[in-house]
Structure 1
Amino acid sequence: MIEDPVVVLPEADYRSVWDRFYEDFSFRPSTNPIKWPAIQEPVASVTWSLAALDDDSSYERLDHLVAVVEQGLSSCVGPSGTLFALDWQHTSYRFAPQEVGGPGQPAWPLSPYPDGDYCIFLAEDFHFGSFGHPWEGSLCLFGEELLDVAATEVGKVLGPPIRRSGRAVAVAHSREPFAEPTWPGC
């Protein structure tokens, strides 16, 4: 347990956590779509496009998405656990999710929505978390327990996933009746 509910990662911890993240997830930061996804998405993962939020001018769906992911992360970490909140090339944190976000409590240190940089929430042992990709405009949740508590609601907000376990999901096409092609002169 940490003394304060939100603690800035000291430099040595910052480097250690980021080094492990780069290694464990084969992290390849890039704005180039050819290099996406930027991580090797775990077997137990689902990734959604954030495009469904593009027309959310009142931020209702965004707020709901953030609440669902935060609640899912909190439930997975338990009553006294901590998470890492990593903001690529910026200050990163260790925090107690049960002690943030409520009345009279500090806010969550970051949002799961990637607003300008990669935003990652990780269990201390890295077995569940979220990965927000700002340039792809995607959110990946990973770890069976997090998927069990959050994936259905995230899907209601964002729609069908674009990847499962790091593999593209086939897009459902319209169910128009098949029309025989017509050939000139036939």
Structure 2
Amino acid sequence: MRIIEDKESQVLWDTIENEYCFRPCCTKDRYNWIVLPMPHKKYSLKEVWSETTEKLINSFFEELAEDNLFALNWQHDGFVFSPIEYNTINFEYYDKTRECNVYFPTYYPNGDYFFFFDKNYKIGLFGHPWLREVLVLGKKLIQKFDSNTKELGILEIKE
């Protein structure tokens, strides 16, 4: 795992904001907060995900990701990581060099927008904290979510 440098982070956020029309908002009213032109599915989150649920989602990424993933946390550090190393990641630590706390996001959007995706945007998980919903990107990842709706505590939102 590594923290994404500012320049690389800006390129990623520019893509998400300009190409995918990401519009953050603190409302609980339904709106198009991101527009994904590729196949995706939206799910409502009925409950906060447990550690077991987080590991299940990570197992999907372990199986499907061809390379490292990006983990973006709106207004915070972004990361490049391998799903294989997910279980060993220190999710919160103090960065002595920058003199600040660093928080690696969970897959559940617990208070901020969290985005996990591969470099080609073939698979991904985009989470909205106030609407308590996720958009799942990629046919095979969608199949994994559809096959595990009960375990994940999710309901499909028809668009």
TM-score category of the 2 structures, normalised to the smaller one:
0.7 to 0.9
Provide the C-alpha distance between the structure 2 equivalents of 1:140 and 1:29, rounded to a whole number of angstroms.
Answer: 15
Q: Which residue of 2 aligns with 1:97?
A: 83
Moved more, 107-116 or 68-77: 107-116
Aligned pair 1:87/2:73, yes or no?
yes
Q: Which residue of 2 aligns with 1:151?
A: 146
Provide the C-alpha distance between the structure 2 equivalents of 1:111 and 1:43, rounded to a whole number of angstroms.
Answer: 24
Q: Which residue of 2 aligns with 1:77?
A: 65
Shift of 1:62: 2.8
Shift of 1:148: 2.3
Distance 1:68 1:37, change over 3 A: farther
Shift of 1:28: 0.8
Shift of 1:115: 1.0
Q: Which residue of 1 aligns with 2:40?
A: 45
Distance 1:36 1:53, change over 3 A: same
The amino acid that maps onto 2:64 is C
- Give unmatched runs, 5+ long, in structure 2: 92-103
Structure 1 consecutive aligned stretches of length 4 or more whose deviation exceeds 4 Å: none
Q: Which residue of 2 aligns with 1:64?
A: 52
Shift of 1:114: 0.7
The amino acid that maps onto 2:26 is T
Bigger CA radius of gyration: 1
- Give unmatched runs, 5+ long, in structure 1: 1-5, 55-60, 168-186
> Structure 1 length normalisation: TM-score?
0.70
2:50 is paired with a residue of what secondary structure?
A: helix
Moved more, 18-27 or 62-71: 62-71
Aligned pair 1:114/2:109, yes or no?
yes
Provide the C-alpha distance between the structure 1 equivalents of 2:154 and 2:82, rounded to a whole number of angstroms.
Answer: 30
Provide the C-alpha distance between the structure 2 equivalents of 1:150 and 1:86, rounded to a whole number of angstroms.
Answer: 21
Tell me the percent identity: 23
Q: How many residues align?
A: 147
